[in-house]
Amino acid sequence: QVQLQESGPGLVKPSETLSLTCTVSGGSISSYYWSWIRQPPGKGLEWIGYIYYSGSTNYNPSLKSRVTISVDTSKNQFSLKLSSVTAADTAVYYCARAQPLLWFGELMGVWFDPWGQGTLVTVSS
Amino acid sequence: NFMLTQPHSVSESPGKTVTISCTRSSGSIASNYVQWYQQRPGSAPTTVIYEDNQRPSGVPDRFSGSIDSSSNSASLTISGLKTEDEADYYCQSYDSSNLEVFGGGTKLTVL
């Protein structure tokens, strides 16, 4: 059974870059899409982006200028970098496997399963 | 881009049936699959419905999903409510501008 675990600093200073890694265990990272989703304290879920194991990416337009998602198949890991953070980026960050939804072979979205347990990242000086 | 609007909260008694709605602001609800996630307090979300009405293995058949083109909305119905169903529920769908959209979430209280 595939399990995901987020890791990285829990505190980041304003204007710096948030960096998180998701380690996949119990299965290969290959042949799947992988995603990052965040949830500010007491608020709802926001999709950040996803990456295919081959390296192709899709990002939320509202974050696209600051986000980079990368994959390391040799380590069975994928990573998130979010630059120029502010207090508004304080959130629990989840990694998840993104299951493709296909319509006549065309990718028409994804659903997220399973999810990691999440990690709280606070942006503060 | 469209929005998915959910009621802020719903409540119902154990053993009863509750339905949570998810209304799409523009475009047809039927044009993209809808998923539903359950998030218990302090835990990560888990999938209860994908592709409008499919249940992942391990999700009890008390959970069901549907879409209604007349109201342009999706619904999650939970029958035989149990106290363990008390959680936040989120709908999610895809915008053809390559954007995954979540609803604002609904807090289900089982009292």
Q: Which two tokens stand for residue B6?
A: 């959910």
What confidence score (pLDDT) does residue B98 get?
79
- Contact criterion met (CB below 8 Å) for A84 and A97: no
Q: Do the strands A77-82 and A91-103 form a parallel or antiparallel pair, or are they unpaired?
A: unpaired
pLDDT at B70 over 90: yes
Arithmetic mean of pLDDT over chain A: 96
Question: Of A44, A94, A101, which has the smallest distance from its Cβ to B104's Cβ?
Answer: A44
d(CA B109, CA B111): 6
Ranges assigned E (strand) in chain B: 4-5, 9-12, 18-24, 34-39, 46-49, 63-68, 73-78, 87-95, 99-102, 106-110
What are the tens digits of pLDDT across the range A9-59? 999 999 999 999 999 999 999 989 999 999 999 999 999 999 999 999 999
The distance of A27 to chain B (nearest Cα, Å) reads: 18
Question: Which DSSP letter does residue B55 get?
Answer: P
Arithmetic mean of pLDDT over chain B: 96
Question: Of B90, B94, B98, which has the smallest distance from its Cβ to A44's Cβ?
Answer: B90
Residue with tokens 């499919």: B54
Instruction: Check residues B107 and B97 and name the one with the higher pLDDT.
Output: B107
What confidence score (pLDDT) does residue A18 get?
98
Torsion, Cα of A14, A72, B101, B8 (10° steps)? -60
Confidence of residue A107 (pLDDT cuts 50, 70, 90): confident
Residue B105 phi, psi dihedral angles, 5° rounding: 95, 145
